[in-house]
Chain A
């Protein structure tokens, strides 16, 4: 997955699309398959500490093309919680 040239940003991605993006992102970081990533487990379970997970907010910003708080993954610490939040706003 290349975060510099994401597939064209969906105008308002659904929760499922965001969730899939996050699963791909986490899977890439631990060299696993996206299907193996449990969306309900905290990011820390997959080795992303609080500082590392801040970078995910930055990557999401680029992909979604909108400004996001850097501490997003702290307040929504799993794929499920985060994608639910992002799909709502």
Chain B
């Protein structure tokens, strides 16, 4: 699996995060954070490793083969420092706009800039407009041979620092879905016309350079990206890609949080025992672990889905962007319970990395469309998804050994037209799991059966509720529509896990293909729907044994084994 090879290579390049002398050590990353210092030296390390080449499609001279590769790389950086991962991956959104709608000259220009190591910012949001993309007021009006850009953008990553900024601006005074366009602004070329607000202080990501930009600039006509009026449609599609990648950011943070707390639990003794020997600690640890595995599985599958079924990305990206950061937040909260007082300390046994990951991950639910925005947009599609639903075989594209097709950007679509091939494989996934666990001990088999029944019932209840709810309730953003969208995301995640287990069994031997692990993972998802009893304690104990065995393999707890390899293995 190529994505894994790339992840192993970058792991080796960045080194052991517990070695304080390494640039990408937890200690150094926390140091930058405490000082609210921009992580220049860490970014230089990524530049030397040429990670940015993976952001540029191969036809333009880069190495972007699949977004699963990109996600694997982002996750490796994220598990060391989300500030660096987010600051680096910011280029993915702005470039997506240009790959989607830019002309050949713009694509060439931006590809060259990124390949040279430039990062690209996006100026989308404004102080007074929340998440409403049709309320933005920064305007570009025809003037002379080009456009006059005026107004103030706010809360963008690197707006002050990066030379290239993709600006989303109103091009029709009346606004509306055809009233906005993108402009590729080279700040060097409009030097006098751009004023930066300075760094905006934040709860997490303290070293990041979040700021605002005020424009009063004359742009050449060649700055317009795509057709005038295409901005709203294009940004919605570009966000489908970046939202799916966002899953890997939360996964990196959760990975480190789990590793940190697990180490603590294995060494710390209380009441005459290791913390990790206490049944309640084991339960919390394996719940967090299996939630991470679910997120890993879902995100990986949907990154493959971007290539295989891009027309469904409006649904799949919303599912990932809602569920993964939220589940990661909950999992970290549980880990903080095991960590006890140490989670609250900034000078405890770990170098402060737990609390940094905990704080930093909170931002992932907010950007690229908040949790609420994603649930709302998903809710609009529920009626058509339910009406068109037809159970099918599991989608063969989900097999991770398959070479991904080159992403066809033109196939990204505002609506999935009722098609969701992951959800369609849910019943087949349930059947395959039941077949596979026939000889397992009764306790595990029963635990799995209870969750499968609850999830299937939850799917049926959801479908019924969607049919019953009036279209007006969806249009008006009724709370029930949000709740139904949330449940839909949970069922899709269950389908993803079942499909992944069946099609990629060999890769998941120590994780989701292990029945005790699957029992807890499915229980976590079924619990999201309510009405499931606790698992019998042997399930948690067996799963905890699997967690330790998984960690023995390469020192990590992720879905796939990522043993560091010779750094020459991937070029």
Residues of A within 8 A of B (CB): 3-4, 25, 28-31, 44, 47-52, 54-55, 57-59, 61, 70-71, 74-75, 77
Name the contact of B472 in the complex, choosing from A3, A28, A71 (C-beta under 8 A): A28
Question: Judging by beta carbons under 8 Å apart, are A74 and B472 in contact?
Answer: no
Residues in B whose Cβ lies below 8 Å from that of A52 = 380, 474-475
A21 to B490, CA, bound (A): 34
18 cross-chain CB contacts under 8 A: A3-B383, A4-B387, A30-B475, A47-B475, A48-B475, A51-B236, A51-B414, A52-B380, A52-B475, A54-B380, A55-B381, A55-B383, A55-B384, A58-B418, A70-B413, A70-B415, A74-B178, A75-B178
Residues of B within 8 A of A (CB): 134, 176-178, 232-233, 236, 377, 380-381, 383-384, 387, 413-415, 417-418, 470-472, 474-476
A50 to B133, CA, bound (A): 10
Residues in A whose Cβ lies below 8 Å from that of B417 = 58, 61
Question: Judging by beta carbons under 8 Å apart, are B415 and A58 in contact?
Answer: yes
Once A50-B177, A54-B414, A55-B415 are accepted as A-B contacts, the answer to whether A28 and B470 lie under 8 Å apart by CB is yes
The distance from the CB of B156 to the nearest CB of chain A, in whole angstroms, is 23
**Residue of B with least CB distance to A74:** B177
The distance from the CB of A60 to the nearest CB of chain B, in whole angstroms, is 11
Question: Judging by beta carbons under 8 Å apart, are B384 and A59 in contact?
Answer: yes
The distance from the CB of B315 to the nearest CB of chain A, in whole angstroms, is 12
A51 to B133, CA, bound (A): 11
Most chain B Cβ neighbours within 10 Å, of A54, A61, A74: A54
Residues in B whose Cβ lies below 8 Å from that of A77 = 176
A47 to B477, CA, bound (A): 10
The distance from the CB of B496 to the nearest CB of chain A, in whole angstroms, is 24
A77 to B472, CA, bound (A): 18
Name the contact of B177 in the complex, choosing from A28, A31, A59, A71 (C-beta under 8 A): A71
A73 to B414, CA, bound (A): 13
Main secondary structure of the interface of B (DSSP, over half): helix
Residues in B whose Cβ lies below 8 Å from that of A25 = 471
A28 to B471, CA, bound (A): 7
Once A55-B415, A58-B415 are accepted as A-B contacts, the answer to whether A47 and B472 lie under 8 Å apart by CB is yes
Residues in A whose Cβ lies below 8 Å from that of B387 = 3-4
Residues in A whose Cβ lies below 8 Å from that of B476 = 47
A57 to B476, CA, bound (A): 18
Name the contact of A71 in the complex, choosing from B134, B381, B383, B414 (C-beta under 8 A): B414
Residues in A whose Cβ lies below 8 Å from that of B470 = 28-29, 31
Most chain B Cβ neighbours within 10 Å, of A28, A48, A50: A50
**Residue of B with least CB distance to A4:** B387
Once A28-B471, A31-B472, A70-B413 are accepted as A-B contacts, the answer to whether A51 and B176 lie under 8 Å apart by CB is no
Residues in B whose Cβ lies below 8 Å from that of A44 = 176
Contacts between chains A and B (CB distance < 8 A), count? 61
Question: Judging by beta carbons under 8 Å apart, are B472 and A30 in contact?
Answer: yes
Most chain B Cβ neighbours within 10 Å, of A31, A47, A58: A58
Can you name 6 extra interface pairs (CB under 8 A) apart from A29-B470, A50-B134? A25-B471, A31-B472, A47-B476, A54-B415, A55-B381, A61-B417
The 6 A-B residue pairs with the shortest CB-CB distance in the complex, in nearest-first order: A29-B471, A74-B177, A50-B177, A29-B472, A4-B387, A70-B414
Main secondary structure of the interface of A (DSSP, over half): helix
Question: Judging by beta carbons under 8 Å apart, are B377 and A51 in contact?
Answer: yes
Question: Judging by beta carbons under 8 Å apart, are A49 and B472 in contact?
Answer: no
Name the contact of B380 in the complex, choosing from A55, A61, A75 (C-beta under 8 A): A55
The distance from the CB of B87 to the nearest CB of chain A, in whole angstroms, is 29
**Residue of B with least CB distance to A3:** B387
Residues in A whose Cβ lies below 8 Å from that of B134 = 49-50
A53 to B566, CA, bound (A): 53
The distance from the CB of A29 to the nearest CB of chain B, in whole angstroms, is 4
A55 to B177, CA, bound (A): 14
Residues in A whose Cβ lies below 8 Å from that of B475 = 29-30, 47-49, 52
A54 to B413, CA, bound (A): 11
The distance from the CB of B407 to the nearest CB of chain A, in whole angstroms, is 19
Residues in B whose Cβ lies below 8 Å from that of A50 = 134, 176-177, 232
Residues in A whose Cβ lies below 8 Å from that of B414 = 51, 54, 70-71
The distance from the CB of A67 to the nearest CB of chain B, in whole angstroms, is 10
Residues in A whose Cβ lies below 8 Å from that of B381 = 55
Most chain A Cβ neighbours within 10 Å, of B377, B380, B470, B474: B380
A49 to B475, CA, bound (A): 7
The distance from the CB of A27 to the nearest CB of chain B, in whole angstroms, is 10
Most chain A Cβ neighbours within 10 Å, of B380, B414, B471: B471
A59 to B474, CA, bound (A): 15
A77 to B22, CA, bound (A): 57
Residues in A whose Cβ lies below 8 Å from that of B383 = 3, 55
Question: Judging by beta carbons under 8 Å apart, are A74 and B413 in contact?
Answer: no
Residues in A whose Cβ lies below 8 Å from that of B178 = 74-75
**Residue of A with least CB distance to B472:** A29
**Residue of A with least CB distance to B376:** A51
A4 to B233, CA, bound (A): 27
The distance from the CB of B7 to the nearest CB of chain A, in whole angstroms, is 35
Question: Judging by beta carbons under 8 Å apart, are B471 and A58 in contact?
Answer: no
Most chain B Cβ neighbours within 10 Å, of A25, A51, A58, A70: A51
A74 to B133, CA, bound (A): 15
The distance from the CB of B416 to the nearest CB of chain A, in whole angstroms, is 9
**Residue of B with least CB distance to A2:** B387
A52 to B314, CA, bound (A): 13
Residues in B whose Cβ lies below 8 Å from that of A58 = 384, 415, 417-418
Question: Judging by beta carbons under 8 Å apart, are A74 and B176 in contact?
Answer: yes
Residues in B whose Cβ lies below 8 Å from that of A28 = 470-472
The distance from the CB of A3 to the nearest CB of chain B, in whole angstroms, is 6
A55 to B414, CA, bound (A): 9
A52 to B417, CA, bound (A): 13
Residues in B whose Cβ lies below 8 Å from that of A75 = 178
A25 to B413, CA, bound (A): 23
